[in-house]
A and B are shown apart, each in its own frame.
Chain A
């Protein structure tokens, strides 16, 4: 088990090196940092001095090595736009995105899983058909439209919930949380629904399909033949067997949520990393973009690791004895 985890971690290293290379490449070759930093009126001598100071006159591989060493130390240089350390910018934005993503993921699981089980157990019931028809909406409605509709109803017409921002947050040393204040929680509702609805319907439809498949299997028939009750059959036997694909998809989706909550954060002016990325792209703020790329790669690697561990927990056949 531990040996397998270590080997998984080792496999992640090449992935990070490649992503690091891409980050480095856009950092170095998209735009000219020297003219961006010195402006139009710099003399050639100043440019050469700056190139030297930034290490841009060194061989390619040396520059790559330095970039990776700095990246490991979470040092991605200064933002062109805000002239602040990129690491500081990202750390400031990280809590907002993390809280939003976790809330939507939990919401999606808590609603999607039971609905999937229910519609899988009674595929032909009226309620199931209604839910399935509704879920088509969830899968096909674009995020920005859903966000705008929610704002229109709950913020503009009803005035119940705030339409933008995080509300009041409580600050700890490195973390600001909106979970502890009423306005923070209220602000979280619309964005997390907007972000989570697609995932919820996806999980629901996936669980439903898997349930339908598993409920046809011989071991479910045998469980019935042994006189087990519906709860034991549906939750003890069937749901457990649907979990491996569900874990896979949920893992990938959470990675996607963290990386690409851009639209939702833009619609709700949520001060998270997605919004930071959009603003950086608009201003060609290359250091932020490359740091962001690295961060997302790390997030995916970590999530894949967690998914692998969950496989071992769920499925004994994967616990290979050595």
Chain B
């Protein structure tokens, strides 16, 4: 770890994101709190619709309207960034927090050469001349493993394969040396054989440049391999957060336990994978109390009444009444 795990870089506290709709306000994120230290890799897992990507979008200030932050705060290096004006937020995006998106086939502008897009991004954030920026672009392309970068810098996105394009996207996200990167499912759209390469590349670059990473994914394998800590999200809340090893080996929240049991392992033989009964509720029908209570094998009366807060549970933090009871 380059930065030392003690210095907090990003702090999210009680973040609430809502979508006003014709049928009332949908609360998509309901009081999310976590922090990321300098150089730390935090994984965020959860089912589709749990709010993983939304959390990332809120951090870089790019929630799709009509979604909006209605509560809580986001601090980068102690400074609030959730209420910055547009122009000030632009100086944060790209320069201090980079972003990597899911599908490299659609995230690059098809009509501009990759060199143009890199130079433009570098010159937006750094006081460099056109030719200096171009040299820097070439060295970034080399760094992310584009062969013959100097010859290929003027090529257009369609002349690269999906994996190569994601490397270009990573170069674009990192070229202004941000302190942190939000990577939203960076390998989901790629071939399985390419996924490991891209993850290894991101891991190496983050370590070399001391960049903190918030890695949003639903692939527990990627999390286990890459992250220092992991946050498990369920229905707009964090169910459990803690060191990867602990969350994987000794999950505290019943949802996390179910999630871990549903991952196939090569070293043990199982007739049938475990599954969690039911499905995650829609935002319109989130039950009272703990959102997981209808599916929870250990649900108690209190679970149907009160939302649990994050509490220490073993080596992790879990939002579950089981631990509240134990710890009182």
Q: Does A83 contact B (CB under 8 A)?
A: no
Q: From the candidates B94, B99, B109, name the one contacting A237 in the complex (CB within 8 A).
A: B109
* Contact status B101-A229, CB under 8 Å: no
Interface residues of B in 138-176 (CB under 8 A from A): 156, 158, 169, 172-173, 176
Q: Which of A222, A226, A236 has the most CB of B within 10 A?
A: A226
* Contact status A219-B125, CB under 8 Å: no
Binary A-proximity of B102-129 (CB < 8 A = 1, otherwise 0): 0100111111110000001100110000
Q: From the candidates A219, A221, A228, A317, name the one contacting B121 in the complex (CB within 8 A).
A: A228
Q: From the candidates A224, A229, A237, name the one contacting B112 in the complex (CB within 8 A).
A: A237
- Report the Cα distance A316→B90, complex, angstroms: 29
Q: Which of B92, B93, B107 has the most CB of A within 10 A?
A: B107
Q: Does A218 contact B (CB under 8 A)?
A: yes
Question: Which of chain B's residues have a CB closer than 8 A to the CB of A221?
Answer: 62, 101, 107
Q: From the candidates B62, B103, B113, B173, name the one contacting A224 in the complex (CB within 8 A).
A: B62
* Contact status A217-B106, CB under 8 Å: yes
Q: Does A241 contact B (CB under 8 A)?
A: yes
Number of A-B contacts (CB under 8 A): 79
Binary B-proximity of A272-306 (CB < 8 A = 1, otherwise 0): 00000000000000000000000000000000000
- Report the Cα distance A314→B109, complex, angstroms: 13
Q: Does A232 contact B (CB under 8 A)?
A: yes
Question: Which of chain B's residues have a CB closer than 8 A to the CB of A225?
Answer: 60, 62, 93-94, 98-99, 101, 173
- Report the Cα distance A236→B113, complex, angstroms: 12
Question: Which of chain B's residues have a CB closer than 8 A to the CB of A241?
Answer: 109-111
* Contact status A218-B90, CB under 8 Å: no
Q: From the candidates A226, A236, A314, A316, name the one contacting B172 in the complex (CB within 8 A).
A: A226
Question: Which of chain A's residues have a CB closer than 8 A to the CB of B94?
Answer: 225-228
CB distance from A120 to the nearest CB of B (A): 15
Q: Does B204 contact A (CB under 8 A)?
A: no
Q: In the complex, what residue of chain B is closest to A240 when comparing beta carbons? A: B111
Interface size range on A against B: 20 to 34
Question: Which of chain B's residues have a CB closer than 8 A to the CB of A222?
Answer: 99, 101, 107-108, 169, 172
CB distance from B239 to the nearest CB of A (A): 27
Binary A-proximity of B36-53 (CB < 8 A = 1, otherwise 0): 000000000000000000
* Contact status B93-A224, CB under 8 Å: yes
Q: Does A223 contact B (CB under 8 A)?
A: yes
- Report the Cα distance A237→B124, complex, angstroms: 14
Binary B-proximity of A199-242 (CB < 8 A = 1, otherwise 0): 00000000000000000011101111111110010001100110
Q: In the complex, what residue of chain A is closest to B156 when comparing beta carbons? A: A316
Q: Does A315 contact B (CB under 8 A)?
A: yes
Question: Which of chain B's residues have a CB closer than 8 A to the CB of A224?
Answer: 62, 93
With contacts A224-B62, A228-B94, A229-B124 taken as known, whether A219 is within 8 angstroms of B156 at the C-beta atoms is no
* Contact status B108-A219, CB under 8 Å: yes
- Report the Cα distance A217→B93, complex, angstroms: 18
Q: In the complex, what residue of chain B is closest to A219 when comparing beta carbons? A: B109
5 example contacts (A-B, Cβ-Cβ < 8 A) are as follows A219-B110, A222-B108, A228-B121, A229-B90, A317-B158
Instruction: Sort A-B residue pairs by CB-CB distance and give the 3 closest, nearest first.
Output: A227-B94, A225-B99, A227-B93
Q: Told that A219-B110, A221-B107, A316-B158 touch, could you supply 18 new A-B pairs with CB distance under 8 A?
A: A217-B106, A219-B108, A221-B62, A221-B101, A222-B99, A222-B108, A222-B172, A224-B62, A226-B93, A226-B94, A226-B99, A227-B121, A227-B124, A227-B176, A236-B112, A240-B111, A240-B112, A316-B156
